[in-house]
Copies of this chain bind each other. A is one copy, B any other.
Amino acid sequence: MRKTRQREAILAVLSGERRPLTPTEIVGLADQAVPGINLATVYRNLKLLAETGQVISVECFGQTARYEVAGLDHHHHFLCEDCDRLFDLPGCVEDFESIAPRGFEVRRHHVQLAGRCDECAAG
């Protein structure tokens, strides 16, 4: 895996922002560092970086997948329905297994809150 300006820019953008970003958001932000960076390049890199464990793909309810840097503690997300930004939430509620029927094997859980972020609520 080579070190390219495009890949560096993508990682820099993901590290710089504190929230999961869509490929389109990423290409817009990375374009400042690497003018003309291509959306296909971003998709290919995100896939590769996800496979090598450097970024995490964040699936959203009813929305395009977003990506964030790997290595964060277990956490969930908050979608602002006004500005459409996705935020990290610090903790986790537990005891999800308890609501699964007998015989079901729970391997993973996804939680997403939605509403208005502090900025939009204040505005």
Contacts and interface: CB of A to CB of B under 8 A. Distances in A.
Given A61-B59, A62-B59, A114 B108 contact: yes
Contact of A104 (B57, B103, B121): B121
Interface in A23-70: 57, 59-62, 65
Interface in A70-123: 76, 78, 81, 87, 89-93, 95-96, 98-118, 121-122
A87 B101 CA distance: 10
Interface of A: 57, 59-62, 65, 76, 78, 81, 87, 89-93, 95-96, 98-118, 121-122
Given A87-B104, A103-B117, A104-B116, 6 more contacts: A59-B62, A89-B99, A103-B121, A104-B118, A105-B115, A106-B114
